Amino acid sequence: MLTIEGVDVFRGETQVLWGIDLTVADAERVAILGSNGAGKSSLMAAITGLLVPRKGTVRLRERSLTGLKPHQITHLGIALVPEGRRVYKGMSVRENLEMGAFPRRGRPRLKETLDRVLNLFPALGRRMNQGAGTLSGGEQQMLAIGRALMSRPELLLIDELSLGLAPRVTKEIYAALDGLGAETTVLLVEQNVELALKHSGRAYIVESGRITGQGRSTDLMNDPNIRRAYLGM
Amino acid sequence: MFALALTNGLVIGIVYALTALGVSLVVGIMNVINFAHGEFYILAGYFSYLFAHTLGMDPLAAMLIAVAGVFVLGLVVEYTLIRPTYGDDMYSLILTFILSIVLQSIYLLVFGPYPNKPPGWVKGATDIFGLFFYGNQRLAALGAGVAVIALFFAMLKLTWFGRMIRAASQDREMAELNGIDTTRLNMFGFGLGCALAAAAGVILAPVFPVTPTAGTPIALTAFVCVVLGGMGSMSGCVLGGLVLGVVENLGAAYVSTGYKHLFMFLILILVLLIRPAGLFGRREA
Ligand SMILES: Nc1ncnc2c1ncn2[C@@H]1O[C@H](COP(=O)(O)OP(=O)(O)OP(=O)(O)O)[C@@H](O)[C@H]1O
Ligand SMILES: [Mg+2]
């Protein structure tokens, strides 16, 4: 579904990613691991068009995303849950979700998708007319994910799902993601390595802007180096 | 005298609010301050004079065409002058400032220095609760101003375009990620901002005729409204307009007309001392 080949990304004049190769197949759950400043968010930005790679290609189902603006990439079926959630605080929960359905692929099915999202996150259903700024951190993350799902994406990108959330809420959200089904492919960035490996089939390790490891999540979980570096064991 | 000054203040205040909404809209969406905002107001006044008086069109039709004309001009200005400056707010500031001077000169050349006044929509005056007689044209202006503001707010709340505007004003990048072509939104947002100035212009021009330079104090007042109400708050902007209009007219009635702008700035300084983010402003972290 997603193919990234030899991608170099710069922020201004500073290079932040070097020769990234990464693939995500249909219906897969893939995690990206890495410490602070490794370049995980920059990679998300390169996929969604917020940062333009200087070298290499990003393709979605054989269609090159080179030269496309972020809104055009969204219309093709990629949705991002950004780091820090970035819900529209001045708008109601309902309006936030409706904004997510703005792309043509989401709008005709708005009602149906809304039901599905509220089914996934019942907490949102009780707060539909409340301002998004009044939600708790966990609810805002649910809203951010719900908003992304409203566009009926083929590929869902989630940056820092559990950051700043209580373990109970994190568990709830992961359970909801596990229930998404094969229709939505997920690429997620997660600080909590244990969680990330538990809820993904494969994972990539990013260090200082380069991919330094990859493999099946179950294998990585048992890899002594990984355990020492990321799980503190 | 108080009731009269208050009514005058409300009429002017609504028109200030309408003008200021245009500024607030453009600042919110694209972070651009349009120094030529007042000149778009004036242009609409001239247009409606031209269409209704010179060409003899129906005043209402003339007004609508005037507003539409300014809207289209706004689109062109965004496309040609503002769009190339994205990423550097300073350039758009300077460019719109130059544009305002250029437009003033053109008005002077075409229409001359004398005030021009489009025909009124209604005649006569109404007895207000037995207190005083008030010109029907001014009452009609008040009604029209309220109607346009109500329409604008309904548009923001109920339409996709309105939601796009609100989303982009809060988080441009996120709005783009939600599939909004923010470059195009800028163009239409700028056009709409100019159209709001134009609506204010055609509404007030039959009462206060337009001159080539009358746009400057109007834009100035609009900027003060926006700051007074709180940057980014549309309802604050309307309140700011009403406060300014009323204070200005009470001041003129009880102190002196000469200090109009002094009152305005006193109010501004006072409010900013007490609430630095403006009346309805959210303080950003
Ligand atoms: N807006 C920015 N401007 C310039 N440099 C940036 C910007 N954001 C991040 N960087 C730099 O780019 C590099 C990669 O940052 P990025 O945010 O992609 O890392 P990350 O893996 O997502 O980190 P985190 O875990 O902290 O979110 C870092 O060296 C960072 O300092
Ligand atoms: Mg990050």
Residues 6+ apart with CB under 8 A from B112: none
pLDDT value at B213 more than 90: yes
The pLDDT of residue B277: 80
* Cβ pair A88:B174 closer than 8 A: yes
**pLDDT-based confidence at residue A140 (cuts at 50, 70, 90):** very high
Q: Which amino acid is at B168?
A: A
pLDDT value at A115 more than 90: yes
**pLDDT-based confidence at residue B120 (cuts at 50, 70, 90):** confident
Protein residue with least CA distance to atom 30, ligand 1? A37
Of residues A72 and B124, more confidence is placed in A72
Beta bridge partners of B172: none
The pLDDT of residue B272: 84
Task: Work out the widest C-alpha separation in chain A, in whole angstroms.
Answer: 50
**Pocket of ligand 1 from Cβ distances under 6 Å:** A 11, 16, 34, 36-42, 83
Helix (H, G, I), strand (E, B) or coil at B175: helix
Beta bridge partners of B132: B128
A2-11 and A78-81 as β-strands: parallel, antiparallel, unpaired?
A: unpaired
In this prediction, residues A91-104 reach a mean pLDDT of: 95
| B279 falls within a domain | no
User: What distance in Å separates the CA atoms of residue A171 and residue A147, rounded to the nearest whole number?
Assistant: 19
Protein residue with least CA distance to atom 28, ligand 1? A37
User: What distance in Å separates the CA atoms of residue B152 and residue B155, rounded to the nearest whole number?
Assistant: 5
Interface test mutation site (partner B, options A78, A88, A159, max chain B beta carbons within 10 A)? A88
Residues 6+ apart with CB under 8 A from B17: B145, B149, B225, B237, B238, B239, B240, B241, B242, B245
| B202 falls within a domain | yes
- Could you give the count of Cα atoms lying within 13 Å of A55 in the half-sphere of its Cβ? 11
CB atoms near residue B49 (< 10 Å): 24
Sheet holding A29-33, edge to edge: A78-81, A155-159, A185-189, A29-33, A202-207, A210-216
User: What distance in Å separates the CA atoms of residue A91 and residue B169, rounded to the nearest whole number?
Assistant: 11
Q: State which residue of chain A sits closest to B173, comparing Cα positions.
A: A50
The dihedrals phi and psi of A131, each to the nearest 5 degrees, come to -65, 140
Protein residue with least CA distance to atom 7, ligand 1? A11
pLDDT tens digits, one per residue of A184-195 = 999 999 988 888
Closest-lying ligand to the alpha carbon of A38? 1
| B281 falls within a domain | no
Of residues A182 and A163, more confidence is placed in A163
| B184 falls within a domain | yes
| pTM reported for the whole predicted model | 0.91
**pLDDT-based confidence at residue B195 (cuts at 50, 70, 90):** very high
Q: Is the dihedral of CA A93, A97, A100, A103 positive or negative?
A: negative
Helix (H, G, I), strand (E, B) or coil at A123: helix
- Could you give the count of Cα atoms lying within 13 Å of B25 in the half-sphere of its Cβ? 31
The pLDDT of residue A157: 96
Contact A213, A204 (CB under 8 A): yes
Contact B224, B266 (CB under 8 A): no
The pLDDT of residue B183: 94
pLDDT value at B117 more than 70: yes
In this prediction, residues A77-82 reach a mean pLDDT of: 96
| B88 falls within a domain | yes
pLDDT tens digits, one per residue of B256-280 = 877 777 888 888 888 888 888 877 7
Of residues B152 and B271, more confidence is placed in B152
CB atoms near residue B89 (< 10 Å): 12
- Could you give the count of Cα atoms lying within 13 Å of A102 in the half-sphere of its Cβ? 28
User: What distance in Å separates the CA atoms of residue B170 and residue A128, rounded to the nearest whole number?
Assistant: 19
Q: How many domains does chain B have?
A: 1
The pLDDT of residue A212: 92
The dihedrals phi and psi of B144, each to the nearest 5 degrees, come to -65, -40
User: What distance in Å separates the CA atoms of residue A66 and residue A57, rounded to the nearest whole number?
Assistant: 7
Helix (H, G, I), strand (E, B) or coil at B231: coil
Helix (H, G, I), strand (E, B) or coil at B110: helix
User: What distance in Å separates the CA atoms of residue B50 and residue B68, rounded to the nearest whole number?
Assistant: 14
* Cβ pair A50:B181 closer than 8 A: no
Tally the residues of chain A: 233
What's the A2 CA to ligand 2 centre distance in angstroms?
A: 20
Q: What is the DSSP letter of A34?
A: -
pLDDT value at B82 more than 80: yes
Q: Which of B174, B181, B282 sits opposite A86 (nearest CB)?
A: B174
In this prediction, residues B225-243 reach a mean pLDDT of: 89
| B285 falls within a domain | no
Closest-lying ligand to the alpha carbon of A82? 2
| B283 falls within a domain | no
- Containing domain of residue B124, as a range? 2-274
Classify residue A224 by burial, with Cβ atoms within 10 Å: 0-12, 13-18, 19+.
Answer: exposed
User: What distance in Å separates the CA atoms of residue A139 and residue A132, rounded to the nearest whole number?
Assistant: 9
Residues 6+ apart with CB under 8 A from B75: B187, B188, B190, B191
Cα B255 from chain centroid (whole Å): 27
**pLDDT-based confidence at residue B285 (cuts at 50, 70, 90):** very low
**pLDDT-based confidence at residue B162 (cuts at 50, 70, 90):** very high
**pLDDT-based confidence at residue A182 (cuts at 50, 70, 90):** confident
Any idea what the CATH number is for the domain that residue B10 is in? 1.10.3470
Closest CA to B63 of B276, B275, B205: B205
| B280 falls within a domain | no
* Cβ pair A71:B177 closer than 8 A: yes
Beta bridge partners of A30: A187, A202
Task: Residue window 120-149, chain A: list those with CB within 8 Å of chain B.
Answer: 147
CB atoms near residue A92 (< 10 Å): 17
- Give me chain A's average pLDDT, please: 92
The pLDDT of residue B186: 94
pLDDT value at A96 more than 50: yes
In this prediction, residues B75-100 reach a mean pLDDT of: 91
Closest CA to A212 of A6, A10, A34: A34
pLDDT value at B281 more than 80: no
The pLDDT of residue B283: 53
Q: Which amino acid is at A96?
A: N
CB atoms near residue A105 (< 10 Å): 18
The pLDDT of residue B35: 94
Alpha helices in A152-215 (DSSP H): 167-178, 193-198
Task: Take residue A70 and report the two structure tokens written for it.
Answer: 């972020």
User: What distance in Å separates the CA atoms of residue A58 and residue A78, rounded to the nearest whole number?
Assistant: 12
- Give me chain B's average pLDDT, please: 91
